[in-house]
Homo-oligomer: A and B are copies of this chain.
Amino acid sequence: MSKNTEVYLNQYKNELLNNVLPFWQNYSKDTENGGYFTCLTREGKVFDTDKFVWLQGRQVWLFSMLYNQLEKKPEWLAFAQHGADFLKKYGRNEDGTWFFSLTNSGKPLVKPYNIFSDCFATQAFGQLYKATGNDEYADIARTTFYSILERRNNPKRHWSKAVEGTRPLKNFALPMILSNLALEIEHLLPKAKVEQLIDECIHEVMDVFYDKKSGLILENVTPEGCFSDSFEGRLLNPGHAIEAMWFIMDLGERRGDTKLIEAAKNIVLHTIEYAWDKKHGGILYFMDILGNPPQQLEWDQKLWWVHIETLIALLKGYLHTGDKKCWEWFEKLHEWTFRHYPDSEFGEWFGYLNRAGEPLLTLKGGKWKGCYHIPRGLYQCWKTLEKIQKNEK
């Protein structure tokens, strides 16, 4: 009935190598000032020249990772280094924290209010160190990482708008990212530190933010890990939750913890069933766990990263547990995703669709969409399908 594994495998491989990567290689390099342009129209034209540290770091990481894991292509390494040079030169404040954005030529534009800039810089320089053995990169990654850990309990610092003490909440994004970052830079940390961090991440994600009653992951919980009946406390971000689950499965695989993998797989399935749009297909961006109107006006939109991250999680779930529901959902979501996101005319994928699945913005890159989720996801799906295929033989 279904397409065989090899057909899918070739589709992901081809999409990565012949559609998505060339788009960024052709259009995103700033040959004059260094770094990457990420604000690209449908056709690949630069419509804004600001440089966002999240996206600069993610693109350095992506090409370094492909160089390390897929093929030692000199142009991939050079392209990664091109972005890293810019980041190294202009990205940091005096105190070593990373700006959120820079002008075209590297002048700081937006202050280091956002700790995820630091996370993606760490990830970038950690991978680039692997590719080059350059100690300076290792040092940047390690220093930034320890600075993140120091700020962990107060990541917004004086930019936080919450009055202390009234309704303390902690947010899922940082423990989620750390679940991935721990493995990304384990080659730069003492082994005991890595193991401790992994323990903490698994606990945070699977005990603290996981809501037993609903079987879903909450975006914000009280310091004790309880539900808060407030806009923040009721918020679900299904894409976030599902992305975190494949990070957890990777941790489970590393530790040989099949129970952990099984639990993560079950959360993926439950979340996709909960967040699947019965009307138009695709996965909703935000939901309120009590069914109230969410604050986010974009709640019903269909975002590229949510869909590709879910494809990864379903394939990893299937690979590790053999649960047929993972494969069935994979096929259904694959069909929806490939019908709506890839742009057959100008390459790469649309990012922002409205509820009905039509492009809401036709851009290929902007302030938040860059060269990251799609190529990472295509690579992850391709390689996971290879393993699935091997098991089948």
Contacts and interface: CB of A to CB of B under 8 A. Distances in A.
A293 B362 contact: yes
**Chain A, interface SS category:** loop
B230 A50 contact: yes
A166 B51 CA distance: 14
Interface residues of A, number: 41
Nearest to A367: B295
Contact of A360 (B159, B163, B300): B300
Contacts of A297: 297-298, 301, 352, 360-361
B108 A166 contact: yes
Contacts of A290: 47
Contact of A109 (B107, B158, B166, B362): B166
How many copies of the polypeptide does the oligomer hold? 2
A44 interface: no
Contacts of A47: 290, 292-293
Nearest to A288: B47
Contact of A162 (B109, B352, B360): B109
Contacts of A354: 300, 354-355
A231 interface: yes
A252 interface: no
Given A50-B230, A293-B363, A109 B167 contact: yes
B162 A159 contact: no
A298 B298 contact: yes
A222 interface: no
B367 A110 contact: no
Interface in A346-367: 352, 354-355, 360-363, 366-367
Contacts of A48: 230-231, 292
A259 to B, nearest CB: 37
A343 to B, nearest CB: 14
B363 A107 contact: no
B352 A292 contact: no
B159 A161 contact: yes
A41 interface: yes
B293 A361 contact: yes
A87 B45 CA distance: 51
A48 B230 CA distance: 7
A158 B292 CA distance: 33
Contacts of A299: 360-361
Interface of A: 41, 47-48, 50, 99-100, 103, 107-111, 113, 158-159, 161-163, 166-167, 230-231, 290, 292-295, 297-301, 352, 354-355, 360-363, 366-367
Return the 9 tightest CB-CB contacts between A and B, nearest first: A297-B298, A293-B361, A293-B363, A47-B292, A108-B163, A107-B166, A113-B161, A111-B161, A110-B161
Given A47-B292, A108-B166, A300-B354, 11 more contacts: A48-B292, A107-B166, A108-B163, A110-B162, A111-B163, A113-B161, A158-B158, A293-B366, A297-B360, A298-B298, A299-B361
